[in-house]
Structure 1
Amino acid sequence: MVSSLFSSLLLFTVGVLSGYAPVPAICPNGSLVRPASGLSDKEETYRVARKAVADVNLKAWLTKTNPGFGTDDLPTVALTSSGGGFRALLLGAGVIQGLDGRDSDVSTSGLFQGLTYQAGLSGGAWLLSSFAGNNYPTISDLRDNLWGQAFQDSLLDPEVLLAAEAYIKVVDDILLKDAAGFHTTLTDPWGRLLSYELLEGKDGGVHTTLSSITKLSNFTSHAAPFPVITSLGVKTWLGECLPGPNATTYEFSPYEFGSWDSDVSAFMKTKYLGTSMKHGKPVTTVCTEKYDNLGYILGTSSTLFNELCLSLPPPANSSTSLDNILEEIINHAHEVTTSDEYATYRNPFYEYVSSTATPNVANNVTAQKSLSLVDGGEALQNNPIFPFLQPARNISVIIVNDNSADTSNNFPNGSEILTTYVQSFNHNLTRMPFIPSVETFVSEGLNQRATFFGCNDTSKVTIVYIPNFNFTFASNVPTAQLAYPKNETAAMIANGVEMASQGGNECWGTCLGCALMMKTGQALPDECTSCFENYCYYGS
């Protein structure tokens, strides 16, 4: 008992010294883990409250856009931001700006205030983390007061990093987390360096955790969509380096971490990630807090270091020199091994049998003491759509902003959303609408303009697909570009605004409203007929 108290005191002291290292905490009353039988009470409470706020704003936007819309019954709308490094972050930010009534004056301005959910993956997770973690400022504010200078003088440039004070602080953070008994990996310094560019506050927002977002004013007032970040699990115990096509999709939200997938089908309270768990209960009376450092979460959603185990060229989001520096940082704590190529989490579901899981005869995820997570887009699903196909969230329309680099010239070609459609069958997600082949996608130009999928099928969600297109700027910037001059940051965001408004098309606002409302049974403007002809994909 004395030894346990001493250890907890030591870990607490280490955590306070670091700001990054996890710290011991008193375990809360009640269970930390639950089966995935629906939404948590807290998310459901937020969802209901946010939907009420969103409905008021969505009605106002629809009425402003076209008075022909009936607005008695309104859909639940979500936005997804794809991966693609800083290209995806900046273009996705422009899309948000083009939807945000506080920050733009285009046909789509005000629709963001009508969203109930928002998800991000990899570069899209950087965007969502910076947006939510800084209490939902405008994109203009982030551009002018944080991103502009930070992206220009990027710490991901080895020459800048080695000369920066932040380098020593990141090394200290890793040493102290390791000393606290938590194995550090390449994702730790990766996430810490990204935080200096994405999060406000001392030492790159080192004290910001994902669960701390619940205390921010725009969250407590339900003024923002509920945020979800995704990542994929790798079955390293089978010798796999990469997530397979049926890899477990994990969700991080301010309230919970877990998966709806049948091999886990359970969720853990985000605030207590890092706690040693067995059978759904803490192993000791001491839990862990601060493992959910937001930098570590956004780093988890974008970590590609596992690709090194295949002896492939370096991951697209980092140079060899940066890889070497990150390895040197980890080497201060311990010798780097292949396990350090993943974001590592103590498995909250270790030997936990969820009442909603499908029993596996062998190699069950729940038999592992730790989870190895990687970039959410590695299995060719670069758009975080799966969370919004879950029936419990009751989402009717998903706006999918795809900034993937599928082609040799770094534009999307539909392959990512097609993979999501194909894999939805293997995950028992029945609400994904039909998506055509890549050949059809490209030949019909669906990768260069907005498209509505799921038209007229009330059993499916409606997807409003908005791909990267170079309206005003050469927006096909390589994913490997890690530094942006201020003028290029501004130009990329401005191009994203054009993507949201479809190049300022005067009919687009009404057509987007038609897509949102087509399955509600409400009155539609006469213009919707031509909108559906122009934007709906009816092939099957």
Structure 2
Amino acid sequence: MQLQDLLLSLSVAISTAHAWSPTDSYAPGEITCDADVNLVRNATDLSSDEQEWLKKRDTITESAMKTFLTRATANFSDTSFLDSLFENSSYVPRVGIAASGGGYRAMLSGAGMLAAFDNRTRGANENGLGGLLQATTYLSGLSGGNWMTGTLAWNNWTSVQEIIDSFSDSNTSSIWDITNSIVTPGGNNSTFTSERFASIISDIDDKQEAGFDITLVDVWGRMLSYYFFPSLPNGGAAYTWSTLRDADVFMNAEMPFPISVADGQYPGTSVDSLNSTVFEFNPFEMGSWDPTLNAFTDVKYLGTNVTNGSPIESGKCIAGFDNVGFIIGTSSDILNDITSSYEAVLTYLETEFLSDSTATSDEYTLGIYSPNPFKGTTNIDSNYSTSIVDSDSLYLADGGEDGEVVPFIPLIKKEREIDVVFAFDNDDGSDDWPSGSNLISTYERQFSSQGKSIAFPYVPDLATFSDLGLNERPTFFGCDASNLTDLAYVPPLIVYIPNAQYSYPSNTSTYTLSYSMEERLEMIQNGYEAATRNNLTEDSGFLGCVGCAVIRRKQESLNITLPSECEQCFANYCWNGTLTDVSSVSSSNSSYSNSTTTLSSGAAESTTASSNASNSSSTSSSSAASSSSAAKANAAASVETGKLFSLLTAFGVLFSLM
């Protein structure tokens, strides 16, 4: 069945189930709900819906895992350990994949990495890690990584192979057709562009007229949606996040459980990995495990005015607020990240397009979830601020605002019982290549008050990442559970896969907003090669080593003897605790005050790392002022052409300066 046919059948099936916005537009609308419904629960465990879904998924992944591991270890001297591993369904390893942010770079490179895991990709079983995706239970995405995961999941779990097969110079309606910039979707066709932006403006006006606050995140989400859901009416303007739970491919657990990550952020404040409240969106719920909220709400009824989870008006709820594009746009809210540098342009946009909004000016670059779905809830741990539940609105921003650009948090929760997490790092560190800072941020977080319920393996400092080339090739962290007993619990083993150049210079800027068909294919191909050690040519045994990493936690807990090949794999790929510059470790950093530096060989880990010092260069105030003035002037120059081209020009100026 062709992709468009799949989307059409999905659209018909979901429309029948009334899972779209009840207004059949971007605007949320009122629906009837049970008079005694309560939409919020305490985050003490997984939701009952997720637990029931996992029962179905575990049955599917057990078979897929056995197929994958049998192939991965086919050349091992002894494979008897597989018999022990599959004699009980509870012994089967559980896998998670985390896709980092980084704009279109992360979307495309991450797609290549994921394609290497997918047996639907041509050649993945011969020169890749094909079948591992079919054995995966969870898939988390953030910002650009969430563009990739969200696209696949909400397009009936399509494959990267199907998407690239639809690429052509003549097909301008394929998924990820980003030949033209997001700010000039029609290219030289100004009529197309004006019609696109007219539709977007109409959508957000509909939401505002329905009584809901709008911000630039609404505009951003609608702009993006046309590239992810081109076959849906109006770029999926009425397409909701909760729609997925009514789709057969998800109901039958034929795909991993998708999770999108965003950060809580109050207007005018900044966040880091130690103070942020990390929110997740999954098909059933949104909320946070962090002690500053410790609650989840039914994602389908976002927009409902509640107190402690109960609707203010009994029997009346809101649906349609959980627009897919809005949630994806929230997770990738780069507008909020650039306000200090380009405030003049953003101020202009706010004036032109949000002048009627009831939101305040310092809220315009945040995603506003109002009314606050957690208003008046009582699940916050004692001694923590109640500011989130006291507020009338919930404010969310890009999931990478806190420096944790790889969305580990949902996957390292003990309740999800994940054994190994594959981390796709397509973030922009030095020269737009990964630096390893994402892992350090998550490692540090577990020693903060926000991270009291998480555990993450020991990782090295930034200098060691660079000096040993750990940010340029796959590396395993947390290989030996016996070295992790000082943590809150034994966390998953991390298989770190960073973006690196193989066949293409894939360190493009996060703010590159257009890629030709050839560039898209090159980026995806290079991502595939980064995940497979160049199609298994750099190490023909890498597939087997991935298999060893997958079974490691279960092998340790069951005391199963591993073959010699796995021991060699751990020697080759596990970070062995080496630090190239011990003096770089900050003794005053509270994150490490309870740890001791121990350097060891083999698969042991060090209990020391260091935080990332900022290396960003500063710009003189006069230069910044000049750039801002020029941006404002260029944006204002098109005012007389009307709102459509004002929006287009302002966004164009904004991104051309980055």
TM-score when normalising by structure 2: 0.75
SS in 2 for 1:469: coil
* Cα 1:149/1:404, change in 2 over 3 Å: closer
1:513 aligned to which of 547, 550, 555? 547
Distance in structure 2 (CA, Å) of the matches to 1:353 and 1:177: 30
* Aligned residue type for 1:349: F
1:123 aligned residue: 144
1:428 aligns with 2:434: no
CA deviation string 1:250-279 (max 9, x = no partner): 010110010000010000000001111112
| Correspondence list, 1:67-78, <5 A | 67=74, 68=79, 70=82, 71-72=85-86, 73-78=91-96
1:538 aligns with 2:576: yes
* Cα 1:175/1:49, change in 2 over 3 Å: same
* Aligned residue type for 1:352: T
* Aligned residue type for 1:530: Q
1:136 aligned to which of 153, 157, 164? 157
1:24 aligned to which of 30, 55, 62? 30
Deviation (angstroms), 1:144: 3.8
2:40 aligned residue: 33
Deviation (angstroms), 1:205: 1.6
* Cα 1:421/1:171, change in 2 over 3 Å: same
2:585 aligned residue: none
1:350 aligned to which of 375, 383, 399? 375
1:3 aligned residue: none
1:84 aligned residue: 102
Q: Is 201-210 or 482-491 further displaced after alignment?
A: 201-210
CA deviation string 1:16-50 (max 9, x = no partner): 66611001111245321000010111011112211
Distance in structure 2 (CA, Å) of the matches to 1:144 and 1:336: 45
| Correspondence list, 1:437-448, <5 A | 437-448=461-472
Aligned length, in residue pairs: 516
1:482 aligned residue: 513
Deviation (angstroms), 1:396: 0.9
1:45 aligned residue: 52
SS in 2 for 1:152: coil
1:63 aligned residue: 70
Q: Is 337-346 or 149-158 further displaced after alignment?
A: 149-158
| Correspondence list, 1:460-475, <5 A | 460-475=491-506
1:290 aligned residue: 320
Deviation (angstroms), 1:192: 0.4
1:247 aligned to which of 266, 272, 276? 276
| Correspondence list, 1:264-275, <5 A | 264-275=293-304
Deviation (angstroms), 1:206: 1.7
Deviation (angstroms), 1:472: 1.0
Work out which structure has the larger RCO, using CA pairs closer than 8 Å and 6 or more positions apart in sequence.
1
1:396 aligned residue: 419
Structure 1 or 2, whichever has the larger Rg, is 2
1:109 aligns with 2:130: yes
Distance in structure 2 (CA, Å) of the matches to 1:465 and 1:83: 15
CA deviation string 1:345-401 (max 9, x = no partner): 0211111101xx313465521111111110000111100001111111111110000
Contact 2:350–2:361 at 8 Å: present in 1 too?
no
1:205 aligns with 2:239: no
Distance in structure 1 (CA, Å) of the matches to 2:500 and 2:273: 30
Instruction: Please provide the CA RMSD for this pair.
Output: 2.3
Q: Is 496-505 or 190-199 further displaced after alignment?
A: 496-505
1:100 aligned residue: 118
Contact 1:382–1:404 at 8 Å: present in 2 too?
yes
* Aligned residue type for 2:184: D
CA deviation string 1:138-197 (max 9, x = no partner): 112223435566211233337749642211111100111000000000000100010000
2:184 aligned to which of 154, 157, 171? 157
Q: Identify unmatched segments of 5+ residues in structure 1.
A: 1-14, 315-319
1:226 aligned to which of 233, 252, 257? 257
* Cα 1:424/1:290, change in 2 over 3 Å: same
| Correspondence list, 1:269-348, <5 A | 269-285=298-314, 286-309=316-339, 311-313=340-342, 328-331=352-355, 337-346=361-370, 347-348=372-373
Contact 2:492–2:553 at 8 Å: present in 1 too?
no
* Aligned residue type for 1:85: G
Q: Is 58-67 or 179-188 further displaced after alignment?
A: 58-67
* Aligned residue type for 1:445: G
Distance in structure 1 (CA, Å) of the matches to 2:402 and 2:541: 36
Distance in structure 1 (CA, Å) of the matches to 2:477 and 2:323: 37
Distance in structure 1 (CA, Å) of the matches to 2:280 and 2:357: 29
Contact 1:449–1:466 at 8 Å: present in 2 too?
yes
* Aligned residue type for 2:104: F
* Cα 1:445/1:149, change in 2 over 3 Å: closer
SS in 2 for 1:416: helix
Deviation (angstroms), 1:103: 1.3
Q: Identify unmatched segments of 5+ residues in structure 2.
A: 1-20, 167-172, 483-489, 578-605, 607-658
SS in 2 for 1:113: helix
1:383 aligned residue: 406
Distance in structure 2 (CA, Å) of the matches to 1:476 and 1:84: 10
Distance in structure 1 (CA, Å) of the matches to 2:107 and 2:280: 19
Distance in structure 1 (CA, Å) of the matches to 2:566 and 2:386: 51
Distance in structure 1 (CA, Å) of the matches to 2:497 and 2:154: 25
* Cα 1:87/1:56, change in 2 over 3 Å: same
CA deviation string 1:436-484 (max 9, x = no partner): 1001111111000000100111623100000001111110001110000
